[in-house]
């Protein structure tokens, strides 16, 4: 099979690594990819939003399947265009991707179908949003409606702060994404990311992970796209997963189909697990980054038949995918200054050595200079992944590899996995 993979982050490097191991693969083309992916396929310098060029590339290589990594490509309508020329695509249509690209759409959808989530209101005017602060109680959860690179959520402790945040958002802090604002009830509990595949009609769970969104140790500092993750996540015990499957994942796939908007691809449900069971914090229309990296490290089944079935139908005919019982972890190495203003161009040494058993380093924002030197070219730059018989072992392996990488221009969190490890220490099974 010929496959075109779209994207350039750590998520896509992990997908490329996994796809490249499939016996079904003949040719892998990656657009635009990154230096770490160059060994796995042919790189083409095409932006994920350049739908014309991506479609032309898919035709030229006679792609049997296009795998879309980032939401920007979905929002640009890549899946729709590919459908119109008869090329199978893993990734939802633009309308189906509204589960991620419009928080107002996602909230109304969940309300229509009784899918558990926080109470909310949608506001197009600053005046109305401020008035709504009377209805909600602190802390106030304020969300820009549109795509804001994972940064469009503000949680304000009190009224005064919330009012000034609303002024900022309507004033354009998130650009057009903030022209409409969703205010939500604050949910308590523990968060986790649950992934499910769908061919538009059937859903199949792919497992869970927990990420660390704050920049610094102890869950402090600004929100980021994710500084690390691990899987499995103890928050997803069997009852919670069953509740999420029957009350959230399956009803979502069924209702999208019933609304004439079949959802094909991976559904990422960000869940808050509290006393009343799992509730939806947000949906994403793609794999999580860096959660995808640990899922791919742990997945034993060939990924390609699943991606193809999502695109073409017939997911129900495949067996449940097999995952290693081992624990997986990913530690993100980010450029100093991330997320606000990451420093570009610093030299990275030692990232491409053999790190030994159970360890993989996936690239994200890297660039190779003509002399071969690897440099930082983005916020999140490297993903150091490891598996082990326990989370503690996986973590020890990952941090050993982190220490072997010489990159003074970067930083990382040193406590990835703390929540699960604290549970282990507190339990009899430790
Ligand atoms: P989102 O981009 O919607 O996932 O929001 C970013 C983060 O804000 C989430 O990971 C949560 O930690 C937090 N958050 C969002 N919505 C809520 C909510 N309704 N209640 C509590 N925390 C929330
Ligand atoms: N790690 C969070 C996300 O991919 O949105």
Cβ proximity of 261 and 96 under 8 Å: yes
Least confident of 34-38, 99-103, 152-156, 183-187: 152-156
Position 255 pLDDT exceeds 50: yes
What confidence score (pLDDT) does residue 426 get? 53
Neighbour-count burial of 315, counting CB atoms closer than 10 A to its CB (0-12 exposed, 13-18 middle, 19+ buried): buried
Q: What pLDDT, on a 0 to 100 scale, did the predictor assign at position 187? A: 95
Q: How confident is the model at residue 71 (pLDDT cuts 50, 70, 90)?
A: very high
Instruction: Report pLDDT for 316.
Output: 97
C-alpha–C-alpha distance, residues 21 and 186, integer Å: 43
What is the residue-averaged pLDDT of the chain?
A: 94
Nearest to 379 by CA among 369, 370, 366, 362: 366
As a whole number of angstroms, the distance between CA 28 and CA 255 comes to 34
Residue of minimum CA distance from atom 8 in ligand 1: 153
Distance CA 61, CA 156 (A): 50
Residue of minimum CA distance from atom 3 in ligand 2: 288
The order of strands in the sheet holding 153-156 is 120-123, 181-184, 140-144, 153-156
Best of 105, 107, 153 to mutate for ligand 1, by most ligand atoms within 8 A of CB? 153
Ligand 1 residue neighbourhood (C-beta within 6 Å): 118, 141, 150, 153, 184-187, 191, 213, 270, 281-282
**3-class SS at 165?**
helix
pLDDT-derived band at 428, boundaries 50, 70, 90:
very low
Note the pLDDT of residue 245: 98
pTM beyond cutoff 0.85: yes
pLDDT at 144 over 90: no
- Each residue of 216-240: pLDDT tens digit? 999 999 889 999 999 999 999 999 9
Q: Which atom of ligand 1 is nearest to the CA of 188?
A: 21
- Please choose from 117, 142, 155 the residue to mutate so as to test ligand 1's pocket, defined by most ligand atoms within 8 A of CB: 155
**The pLDDT of residue 421:** 85
- The number of the ligand 2 atom at minimal distance from the alpha carbon of 289 is 4
Query: Residue 47 pLDDT > 60, yes or no?
Result: yes
pLDDT at residue number 151: 67
Q: What are phi and psi of 275, to 5 degrees?
A: -60, -35
Query: Is residue 420 scored above 90 in pLDDT?
Result: no
Mean pLDDT of 107-132: 92
Of 296, 298, 278, 299, nearest in space to 288 by CA: 296
pLDDT band at 149 (very low <50, low <70, confident <90, very high): low
Per-residue model confidence as pLDDT tens digits over 304-325: 999 999 999 999 999 999 999 9
Sequence-separated contacts (24+) of 309-313 with Cβ below 8 Å? 309/197, 309/199, 310/90, 310/197, 310/198, 310/199, 310/264, 310/265, 310/266, 311/65, 311/88, 311/89, 311/90, 311/199, 311/264, 312/88, 312/199, 313/199, 313/200, 313/201
The Å distance, Cα 399 to ligand 2 centre, comes to 21
Task: Determine the average pLDDT of the residues in 187-196.
Answer: 96
250's tokens: 């399956």
Q: Which ligand is nearest to the CA of 293?
A: 2
Substitution site in 284, 339, 364, 380 for ligand 2 pocket (most atoms within 8 Å of beta carbon): 284
Q: Output the pLDDT for position 243.
A: 98
CA distances from 275 to 107, 137, 222 (A): 21, 19, 27
Residue 425 reports pLDDT greater than 70: no
Q: How confident is the model at residue 169 (pLDDT cuts 50, 70, 90)?
A: confident
Higher-scoring residue by pLDDT: 256, 176: 256
Distance between CA atoms of 286 and 273, rounded to whole angstroms? 21
Q: Which amino acids bring their CB within 6 angstroms of ligand 2?
A: 150, 211, 225-226, 284, 288-289, 291
Ligand that lies nearest to the alpha carbon of residue 292, given by its number in the listed order: 2
**DSSP code of residue 102:** -
The tally of CA atoms less than 13 A away on the side-chain side of residue 373 is: 11
Tokens of 273: 């697990």
Q: Is the pLDDT of residue 103 over 70?
A: yes
Give 307's DSSP letter. Answer: H
Tell me, what's the pLDDT at 430?
A: 30
């Amino acid at each position: 099979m010929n496959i075109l993979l779209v994207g350039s982050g750590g998520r896509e490097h992990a997908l490329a690594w996994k796809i490249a191991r499939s016996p079904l693969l003949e040719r892998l083309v990656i657009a635009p990819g990154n230096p770490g992916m160059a060994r796995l396929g042919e790189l083409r310098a095409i932006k994920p939003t350049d739908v014309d060029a991506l479609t032309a590339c898919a035709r030229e290589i006679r792609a049997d399947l296009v795998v879309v990594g980032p939401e920007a490509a979905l929002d640009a309508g890549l899946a729709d265009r590919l459908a119109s020329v008869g090329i199978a695509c893993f990734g939802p249509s633009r309308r189906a991707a509204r589960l991620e690209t419009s928080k107002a759409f996602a909230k109304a959808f969940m309300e229509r179908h009784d899918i558990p989530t926080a109470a909310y209101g949608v506001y197009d005017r600053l005046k109305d949003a401020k008035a709504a602060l009377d209805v909600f109680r602190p802390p106030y959860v304020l969300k820009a409606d549109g795509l804001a690179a994972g940064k469009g959520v503000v949680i304000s402790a009190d009224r005064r702060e919330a009012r000034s945040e609303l002024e900022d958002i309507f004033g354009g802090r998130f650009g057009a994404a903030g022209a409409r604002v969703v205010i939500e009830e604050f949910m308590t509990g523990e968060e986790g990311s649950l992934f499910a595949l769908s061919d538009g009609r059937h859903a199949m769970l792919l497992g869970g992970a927990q990420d660390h969104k704050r920049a610094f140790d102890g869950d402090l500092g600004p929100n980021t796209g994710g500084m690390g993750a691990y899987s499995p996540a103890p928050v997803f015990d069997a009852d919670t997963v069953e509740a999420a499957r029957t009350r959230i994942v399956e009803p979502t796939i069924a209702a999208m189909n019933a609304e004439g908007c079949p959802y094909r691809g991976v559904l990422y449900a960000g869940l808050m697990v509290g006393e009343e069971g799992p509730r939806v914090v947000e949906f994403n229309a793609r794999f999580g980054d860096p959660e995808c990296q640990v899922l791919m490290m742990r997945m034993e089944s060939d990924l390609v038949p699943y991606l193809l079935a999502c695109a073409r139908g017939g997911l129900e005919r495949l067996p449940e995918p097999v995952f290693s019982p081992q624990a997986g972890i990913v530690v993100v190495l980010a450029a100093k200054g991330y997320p606000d203003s990451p420093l570009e161009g610093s030299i990275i040494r030692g990232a491409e050595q053999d790190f030994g058993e159970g360890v993989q380093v996936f690239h994200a924002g890297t660039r190779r200079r003509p002399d071969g030197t690897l440099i930082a070219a983005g916020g999140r730059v490297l993903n150091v992944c490891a598996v082990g018989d326990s989370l503690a072992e996986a973590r020890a392996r990952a941090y050993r590899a982190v220490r072997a990488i010489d990159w003074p221009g970067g930083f990382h969190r040193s406590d990835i996995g703390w929540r699960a490890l604290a549970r282990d220490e507190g339990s009899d099974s430790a």
